[in-house]
Amino acid sequence: MRLFIYGILASLGVLGLTAGLYPVYGLELFLGWILPVLAGTVTLYFIGSAAQKDPFLVTKTIAKGFALKMVYYGAAILTLFKLYSFEPIPFICSFSGFFLGLHVLEAVIIKRISQSYKTNA
């Protein structure tokens, strides 16, 4: 989990730099950052608690998390586009970049969890 916290801090730095360069789009950039951060934090929390209970429960948790994330992202983006008028391009760029970066980091963390079970077995 510490690696994910470092990833969040690094992404927060990138967000700060980008918002400093484009202050007009600060809210769009922030919204594009916060959606993947919240999803990643919740996912890793549940994966971490599942890993402590049973190694085989991790796979089920990942599958459920994937389905819930699809619903979460769809609902959040649809709500943003319907209820809030803003520039979509900065939001999409911010969301895409942070989505990819943080989900790659999640994959690395999940791989480490899986490898720790292989070495302990």
**Structural domains counted in the chain:** 1
Q: N- to C-terminal Cα distance for the chain?
A: 22
**Measured distance CA(15)–CA(40) in Å, rounded:** 17
Our measurement of the distance from residue 109's CA atom to the centroid of its chain's CA atoms, rounded to an integer in Å, reads 12
**Domain range for residue 57?**
2-120
C-alpha 47/C-alpha 45 separation (Å) is 6
**DSSP 8-state class, residue 71:** H
Is this structure's pTM higher than 0.85? yes
Tens place of pLDDT for every residue, the chain, 121 residues?
A: 789 999 999 999 999 999 999 999 999 999 999 999 999 999 999 998 998 998 789 889 999 999 999 999 999 999 998 998 888 999 999 999 999 999 999 999 988 888 877 776 6
